[in-house]
Amino acid sequence: GNSVTQMEGPVTLSEEAFLTINCTYTATGYPSLFWYVQYPGEGLQLLLKATKADDKGSNKGFEATYRKETTSFHLEKGSVQVSDSAVYFCALSDGRSFGNEKLTFGTGTRLTIIP
Protein backbone atom coordinates (compact mmCIF):
# COMPACT_ATOMS: atom_id res chain seq x y z
CA GLY A 1 0.00 0.00 0.00
CA ASN A 2 0.88 3.67 -0.03
CA SER A 3 3.00 5.14 2.73
CA VAL A 4 4.85 8.31 3.64
CA THR A 5 7.90 8.45 5.88
CA GLN A 6 9.02 11.79 7.19
CA MET A 7 11.76 13.04 9.41
CA GLU A 8 11.19 12.45 13.08
CA GLY A 9 10.86 15.50 15.22
CA PRO A 10 10.86 17.62 17.09
CA VAL A 11 13.21 19.95 15.24
CA THR A 12 14.49 23.11 16.90
CA LEU A 13 16.34 25.77 14.93
CA SER A 14 17.49 29.31 15.43
CA GLU A 15 15.90 32.10 13.44
CA GLU A 16 17.42 32.52 9.95
CA ALA A 17 18.74 28.95 9.90
CA PHE A 18 18.32 26.68 6.86
CA LEU A 19 15.55 24.10 7.15
CA THR A 20 15.21 20.67 5.60
CA ILE A 21 12.47 18.22 6.55
CA ASN A 22 12.90 14.92 4.76
CA CYS A 23 9.99 13.05 3.22
CA THR A 24 10.05 9.83 1.22
CA TYR A 25 7.12 7.87 -0.11
CA THR A 26 6.02 4.50 -1.39
CA ALA A 27 3.29 4.36 -4.02
CA THR A 28 2.40 2.59 -7.21
CA GLY A 29 1.50 4.77 -10.13
CA TYR A 30 2.02 8.50 -10.17
CA PRO A 31 0.96 10.15 -6.93
CA SER A 32 0.51 13.82 -6.25
CA LEU A 33 2.58 15.06 -3.31
CA PHE A 34 1.68 17.65 -0.70
CA TRP A 35 3.03 19.46 2.33
CA TYR A 36 0.45 20.57 4.88
CA VAL A 37 1.14 22.79 7.90
CA GLN A 38 -0.68 23.06 11.22
CA TYR A 39 0.08 26.24 13.15
CA PRO A 40 -0.60 26.28 16.91
CA GLY A 41 -4.33 26.36 17.57
CA GLU A 42 -5.22 26.26 13.88
CA GLY A 43 -6.43 23.71 11.37
CA LEU A 44 -4.43 21.95 8.68
CA GLN A 45 -3.70 24.02 5.63
CA LEU A 46 -1.98 23.29 2.37
CA LEU A 47 1.54 24.71 2.17
CA LEU A 48 2.55 23.50 -1.29
CA LYS A 49 2.07 20.65 -3.73
CA ALA A 50 3.50 18.99 -6.85
CA THR A 51 1.57 16.75 -9.21
CA LYS A 52 4.26 15.22 -11.41
CA ALA A 53 7.93 14.28 -11.40
CA ASP A 54 10.42 17.18 -11.32
CA ASP A 55 7.72 19.69 -10.43
CA LYS A 56 8.69 22.14 -7.71
CA GLY A 57 6.05 23.40 -5.31
CA SER A 58 6.71 26.67 -3.51
CA ASN A 59 4.94 28.98 -1.07
CA LYS A 60 5.93 31.40 1.72
CA GLY A 61 9.63 30.79 1.01
CA PHE A 62 9.25 27.02 1.32
CA GLU A 63 10.10 24.72 -1.59
CA ALA A 64 9.89 21.01 -2.35
CA THR A 65 10.78 19.13 -5.53
CA TYR A 66 9.06 15.91 -6.61
CA ARG A 67 11.90 13.44 -7.18
CA LYS A 68 10.64 10.21 -8.71
CA GLU A 69 14.07 8.59 -8.87
CA THR A 70 14.56 8.91 -5.12
CA THR A 71 10.81 8.84 -4.24
CA SER A 72 11.30 11.99 -2.17
CA PHE A 73 9.65 15.36 -1.58
CA HIS A 74 11.89 17.11 0.94
CA LEU A 75 10.75 20.46 2.33
CA GLU A 76 13.30 23.29 2.42
CA LYS A 77 13.46 26.91 3.46
CA GLY A 78 16.53 29.09 3.28
CA SER A 79 15.90 31.28 6.33
CA VAL A 80 13.28 30.32 8.89
CA GLN A 81 11.33 32.71 11.09
CA VAL A 82 9.72 32.32 14.48
CA SER A 83 6.35 32.39 12.72
CA ASP A 84 7.26 29.15 10.90
CA SER A 85 6.95 27.22 14.17
CA ALA A 86 4.29 24.58 13.43
CA VAL A 87 3.77 20.90 12.68
CA TYR A 88 4.51 19.94 9.07
CA PHE A 89 2.92 16.93 7.36
CA CYS A 90 4.00 15.32 4.11
CA ALA A 91 1.23 13.55 2.21
CA LEU A 92 0.48 11.78 -1.04
CA SER A 93 -2.56 11.01 -3.10
CA ASP A 94 -2.53 7.93 -5.27
CA GLY A 95 -3.18 8.81 -8.90
CA ARG A 96 -4.36 5.43 -10.05
CA SER A 97 -8.09 5.25 -10.03
CA PHE A 98 -11.44 6.39 -8.79
CA GLY A 99 -11.81 5.74 -5.10
CA ASN A 100 -8.17 6.41 -4.37
CA GLU A 101 -8.53 10.11 -3.81
CA LYS A 102 -7.63 10.19 -0.15
CA LEU A 103 -4.44 11.68 1.27
CA THR A 104 -2.01 9.38 3.06
CA PHE A 105 -0.05 11.38 5.64
CA GLY A 106 3.31 11.07 7.30
CA THR A 107 3.48 11.28 11.08
CA GLY A 108 4.27 14.99 11.15
CA THR A 109 7.36 16.94 12.19
CA ARG A 110 7.10 19.56 14.91
CA LEU A 111 9.30 22.57 14.14
CA THR A 112 10.21 25.18 16.72
CA ILE A 113 12.16 28.30 15.78
CA ILE A 114 13.86 30.20 18.58
CA PRO A 115 14.73 33.88 18.24
Partner 1 sequence: GAGVSQSPSNKVTEKGKDVELRCDPISGHTALYWYRQSLGQGLEFLIYFQGNSAPDKSGLPSDRFSAERTGGSVSTLTIQRTQQEDSAVYLCASSSEGGGRFGNTIYFGEGSWLTVV
Binding residues (CB under 8 A) for partner 1: these are 32, 34, 36, 42-46, 49-51, 89, 91-108
* Closest distance to partner 1 from the beta carbon of 102 (Å): 5
Nearer to partner 1, 99 or 115 (CB): 99
* Closest distance to partner 1 from the beta carbon of 17 (Å): 26
Q: What angle do CA 73, 77, 78 make, to 5 degrees?
A: 135
Which of 23, 14, 6 is CA-nearest to residue 79? Answer: 14
Nearer to partner 1, 72 or 95 (CB): 95
